[in-house]
Structure formats: structure tokens, C-alpha cells
Amino acid sequence: MKKLHTLLLMLSLLMSSVALAYEEAPREEPAKVIQSAIIKLNQLTGMATYSPQMMRFLVEREITPLFDFEYIVNEVSAGSVNLNKEEFKYFSSLLKKNIINTLLERLAQGQSKSFNFISARPAMGGDIIIVRLNAKGFFRFGFNLDLSFHQNQANKWQVFDVALNYDSLINYYQRMVRSKVRRYGVYGMLGRI
């Protein structure tokens, strides 16, 4: 009987270690990602001695991975444009370039810039987290910046929308795409965005 208990104990320990070995990778904590994003933005805007080349390098290395550009392109083009894979890839690179260039232009403006955390609230049952920041040093009183985070297909928390004083990035590009498609067609829109 004692041998049976020992054998069952060994078997249960072996099975639990095998089960733990095949357990899914731990989910990324949204609080850590949000905190990291705020720290990176403050580090980037806090240093006034960066050259434009260094600023571009840091934005592409530190800030760009925070965004889910694939999701942004899907949302922007939904309902108004049907793109094949090559056009989707080209449109994605155009939007990424436009968003990063706009971010670089905005970061280059202003005096003492910093991003202060105001609040974070879950939306849609916790699938989306909206983080409100106050950006100081760009205007006299600063402005509110809402970063909307979601989990992408790889379970990474990424920014899928940015709203400046309630004007959403996705809504802005949706209006632009609809206007350009109506006026110039799909290929004309791709050439003018």
C-alpha cells in the first residue's frame, strides 16, 4: 500500500510539472505596458538635446512598437475601401509613416514637455483600456491625450487609437479616406494620403 501511495505521489508530481511546462505564456499586464509607454514618452520629450535623426531613431525603436498599425488600417479602411494584400501593405506603411511623422512634428514643438497620467478606465468589459494623459508644454494649458489600448492577436497590449481633445486618430483617417476615395478613387486615395 505504501508503494502504491509513493507511486501515485510521484505520478501526480510528474503530471503537474508536465502540465506547468505546457502552460500558456503569461498574459502581459496592461498596467506595465501603460506605465512603460508613459515613461518612454516622458523620456523622449524630456531631452531637449536630441537631434532630429536621434529623435526619429528613438521614436521608431521605442514608440512605434506600442502601436497596432494593422488594426488601425483595418478600422480606417473598413466599409469604405476594399484592398488586396499588396494595397493593404502599402496603405499600412503610408499610415504608419504619416502617424510617426506627425508624432515627430508634435514632439519637436513646445518648451518643457511632459505627459502626466490622469486616469485609466476599462471599456467593453476590460478588452479595451483608455488611458488619459495631460500633455504639458505644447500649449499654454496643455491638452488631453487619450490612448486606447487593446490586446492584439499575439496577446500584446498595444495602442490602437489616439484622441487629442476627443478627436480620434481613426475617425480622422476614416473621414480622409472616404473623402479621397469619393473624389479620386482607391488608387488616387493611395497616392494622395
> Which domains are seen in the chain, by residue range?
30-192 (3.10.450.710)
* Contacts with 178 (C-beta within 8 Å, 6 or more apart), sequence order: 80
Residue pLDDT, tens place only, 123-147? 888 788 998 888 777 667 777 888 8
Strand partners, 144: 134
Residue pLDDT, tens place only, 164-192? 877 888 999 999 999 998 999 888 888 88
Q: With bands split at pLDDT 50, 70 and 90, how would you rate the model's confidence at 7?
A: very low
Instruction: Supply the pTM of this predicted model.
Output: 0.72
Q: What is the dihedral of CA 137, 138, 142, 146, to 10 degrees?
A: -120
Among residues 130, 172, 158, the alpha carbon closest in space to that of 70 is found at 158
- 123 and 129 in contact (C-beta within 8 Å)? yes
25 has a pLDDT exceeding 60: no
Residue pLDDT, tens place only, 49-68? 667 777 778 778 888 888 99
